[in-house]
Amino acid sequence: MARALLMATQQNMIEYATIFLEVEQCHSRKKEDIKMNETSEQILKSRLTQENFQKLAAIDNDEMHDFVAKYIDLCNPGSVFVSTDSADDIRYVREAAVRNGEEENLALGGHTIHFDGYHDQARDKAQTKFLLPEGVDLGPDINAINKDEGLKELKEIMRDIMKGKEVYVRFYCLGPCKSAFSIPCLQITDSAYVAHSEDLLYRHGYEEFKRLGKSARFFKFVHSAGELDERKVSKNIDKRRVYIDTYDGIVYSVNTQYGGNTIGLKKLAMRLAIKRASEEGWLTEHMLLMGIHGPKGRISYFTGAFPSLCGKTSTSMISGETIVGDDIAYLRKMDGVVRAVNVECGMFGIIQGINSVDDPIIWKTLHSPGEIIFSNVLVTNDKKVYWIGKDGEVPASGYNHSGQWTSGKKDAKGSEITPSHKNARFTLNLKLLENVDSNLDNPAGVALSGIIYGGRDSDTWLPVQESFDWTHGIITKGAALESETTAATLGKEGVRKFNPMSNLDFVSIPLGQYIQNNLDFGKDAKNPPRIFGVNYFIKDKEGNFLNEKTDKAVWLKWMELRVNNDVEAITTPTGLIPKYEDLKRLFKHLLNKDYTQEDYIKQFTLRIPENLAKIDRIEKIYREKVADAPKILFDVLGEERKRLTSAREKWGDYIPPDRFAIYAER
């Protein structure tokens, strides 16, 4: 009975999402009725085979036709392949990646290896710029260039850049198809590796373009790897450019192959979507999306924002829970209920450190036949792969992003070359994972119960804490998010980096406006998701971690119980914390671990000086660097400072959790 009711409710939400989408389309901005002009038609007919021209002509969208014609004419490829997402077309692109030398088959069926150039292994932040019209300023954290100047530079770089190559015209959809969340996307690329990667990461969109026709409001992406060397990697790195035009919804990426610069629908499209979401009243967030399983078959869905190396993917892959997504989420209100989808349907994951103990599900998947692209790992003579942190001994030799490799090999600067690059990746469709959630492609998304913010923090935040309300959570957990650097990555440990909502690198609107959008989003929501802060990296004064890696499973279960009002909490000046008895039970049940009162006190002692120092840092940043910071942000931080100061006057600088029993329990 209950299951039937649930299924009926889900079906109603799917129908509602379809109706909502139709209404959105009716109210969307009207486009000019641009007809394919004679020049565009002539270009396409002269450069495409009749078969490929007809594939484009089947889509009734002249804006798309003109865009393809413009960049085919400018970039001057040798041939053009248009994919309809048929099985044959998908296979053609996959095989082209091997045929072109961008990928190579490995020992396990479906596995391939791709290498980027030695100096093309990460997002190029310096050359990733917004194209802004004259007079537009998004603040000091936004890397920008005048739009006219940037387009002139791009035109010079891109002229004939695809000469002699095959170009792939691809159609995708961000979010599930036929949904209020859907954003159609057009990709033009001369890299079969990029097109193959996007086939694993995104829903196919050719039929979506045909269905929407002229009404499609689509994002556009143009990419060229540029001239290639003998290893088939980008040669002219000095002319690497990644330019983003949020006003016309276009991303340009040239002279690069690394996925973060070239897989346009990922973080590059995120900038476009943040601006559109801001204009339309929804949210684009750098968040995982997962189902946490509660008592009697209940599933509560959470999003979570974590900066790099803070446990984002490992949280989404906790044993016993289900994953909807590990990177980007769209959040909308439907009939007042906050619902979310995974923008993607795949995973472009960092592979360093993945092992059979800590990551059993991904480990099993990476060692099973299936369509997976490995990038910048070590390949041994028997066509198997090795990465830093993998189980077993390091092979003595093989080949990697530097070419032939042996242990101890050094680069031109005398630095030792590791077997795999620290940013080596794997790309796969989430359906290869045994813990994929059944709602992955639900056009209505999932009703959201909670939002988690977490960073690398050695001395301030508690392991898990619930905010008092939506506004308190957005400001003190999201907008105040920081994360400490590690010696392994940046050479200096413990430097706090301000990263609100773990989204600072991708915000394409003024930061104050972005914070205000988050605050406004929850105002008229029915039972808005509860907001939590987590910290997997709290240490004692001697520098010892107070958490085990596996403890996060307990914090997740406690949050699931809280959003369903199954457990009470203790009120502190900074939020609501678990009772010892509840954690003791969860540790025993989930981890078969005896959780002592001593551990509880160490982990949940409130550190007043550190919290006050954090408030001072955050206030200073917003006052000095964010001209449009909302006034309520300073009000809420000021109220928290007063609560902390009052508590210190009563009990001192470091207050164990049992002292807060005098507060009213919720």
Q: What's the CA angle centered on 390, arms 384 and 396, to 5 degrees?
A: 60
* CA 628 from centroid of its chain's CA atoms: 26
Q: How many other CB atoms are found less than 10 A from the CB of residue 635? A: 12
Q: Are 472 and 530 in contact (CB under 8 A)?
A: no
75 is catalytic: no
Q: Where are the beta strands (DSSP E) in 385-516?
A: 385-386, 397-400, 403-406, 425-429, 446-454, 464-466, 482-484, 496-498
Return the C-alpha torsion angle 468, 473, 475, 479, nearest 10. Answer: 160
Quote the tokens at residue 620: 């200073």
**What is d(CA 428, CA 344) in angstroms, rounded to the nearest whole number?**
11
Helix (H, G, I), strand (E, B) or coil at 399: strand
Residue with tokens 């009470």: 568
* Residue found under tokens 């040239």: 254
CB neighbours of residue 99 within 10 Å = 12
- The Cα 74–Cα 70 span in angstroms is 6
Looking only at the bridges linking them, the beta strands covering 397-400 and 575-578 are unpaired
Which helix (H) or strand (E) covers residue 323, if one does?
Answer: strand 322-325
Going by their DSSP bridges, the two strands 464-466 and 219-224 should be labelled as: unpaired
Q: Among the options 75, 185, 310, 345, which is catalytic?
A: 310
- φ, ψ at 233 (rounded to 5°): -120, 160
Distance from chain centroid for Cα 653: 38
Active site residues: 310
